[in-house]
Amino acid sequence: MGPPEEVRDRLARCGQSHLLRFWAELGPAQRAALLAAVPPGLGEHCRMAAAAGARQRGPPERLDGRMEPLPARLLGSARRSGPAVLERWEAEGLHQISQNKVAVLLLAGGQGTRLGVSYPKGMYNVGLPSGKTLYQIQAERIHKVEQLAGQRHHCKCAIPWYIMTSEFTLGPTEEFFVEHNYFNLDRSNVVMFEQRMLPAVTFDGKAILEEKGKIAMAPDGNGGLYRALVDNKILDDMKQRGIQYVHVYCVDNILVKMADPVFIGFCVSKGADCGAKVVEKAYPTEPVGVVCCVDGVYQVVEYSEISLETAQRQSPSGGLMYNTGNICNHFFTVEFLETVAQNFVAFEVLREEEFSPLKNADTADKDTPTTARQALLAQHYLWALKAGARFLDENGCRIPEKLSLSGTEDAPAVCEISPLVSYFGEGLEAYMKNRDFQSPFVLDENKAEMLGNS
* Mean pLDDT, residues 226-244 taken together: 92
Least confident among 102-116, 204-218, 340-354, 404-418: 204-218
Q: pLDDT band at 219, cuts 50/70/90?
A: low
Cα(164)–Cα(104) distance, integer angstroms: 11
**424 pLDDT exceeds 70?**
yes
- Between 217 and 112, residue with greater pLDDT: 112
Q: Please provide the average confidence, as pLDDT, over all residues in the chain.
A: 89
Q: Which residues of 253-283 are buried (b: 16+ CB within 10 A; e: fewer)?
A: bbbbbbbbbbbbbbbbebebbbbbbbbbbee
User: Domain 64-354 classified CATH 3.90.650.10?
Assistant: no
Which residues, at least 6 apart from 453, have a Cβ–Cβ distance to it below 8 Å?
Answer: none
Q: Which of 328, 285, 289 has its CA nearest to residue 310?
A: 285
Cα(346)–Cα(278) distance, integer angstroms: 7
Which residues, at least 6 apart from 38, have a Cβ–Cβ distance to it below 8 Å?
Answer: 7, 11, 19, 215
Residue 117: predicted pLDDT: 86
Cα(266)–Cα(90) distance, integer angstroms: 8
Residue 20: predicted pLDDT: 79
**45 pLDDT exceeds 80?**
no
Query: Which residue ranges make up each domain of the chain?
Result: 5-57, 64-354, 379-453
Is the Cβ–Cβ distance between 409 and 374 less than 8 Å? yes
Q: pLDDT band at 5, cuts 50/70/90?
A: confident
Q: pLDDT band at 218, cuts 50/70/90?
A: low
Q: What percentage of the chain reaches a pLDDT higher than 90?
A: 62
Question: In which element (H, E) is residue 88 found?
Answer: helix 83-98
| Integer CA distances (angstroms), 125 to 28, 107, 342, 430, in order | 42, 18, 39, 29
Strand partners, 390: 436
Each residue of 95-126: pLDDT tens digit? Answer: 999 999 999 999 987 777 788 888 899 999 99
241 CB neighbour count, 10 Å cutoff: 16
**444 pLDDT exceeds 80?**
yes
φ, ψ of residue 190 to 5 degrees: the values are -115, 110
Residue 226: predicted pLDDT: 81
**57 pLDDT exceeds 90?**
no
Q: How would you classify residue 162: left for phi > 0, otherwise alpha for psi between -120 and 50, otherwise beta?
A: beta
284 CB neighbour count, 10 Å cutoff: 17
Cα(211)–Cα(216) distance, integer angstroms: 8
Is the Cβ–Cβ distance between 360 and 405 less than 8 Å? no
DSSP string, 231-267: HTTHHHHHHHHT--EEEEEETTBTT--TT-HHHHHHH
Strand partners, 291: 300
pTM: 0.85
φ, ψ of residue 434 to 5 degrees: the values are 55, 30
Q: Which of 44, 41, 160 has its CA nearest to residue 105?
A: 160
Which residues, at least 6 apart from 147, have a Cβ–Cβ distance to it below 8 Å?
Answer: none
* Mean pLDDT, residues 39-63 taken together: 67
Q: Which of 266, 240, 224 has its CA nearest to residue 100?
A: 240
Which residues, at least 6 apart from 146, have a Cβ–Cβ distance to it below 8 Å?
Answer: 97, 157, 158, 159
Please state which CATH class domain 379-453 belongs to: mainly beta
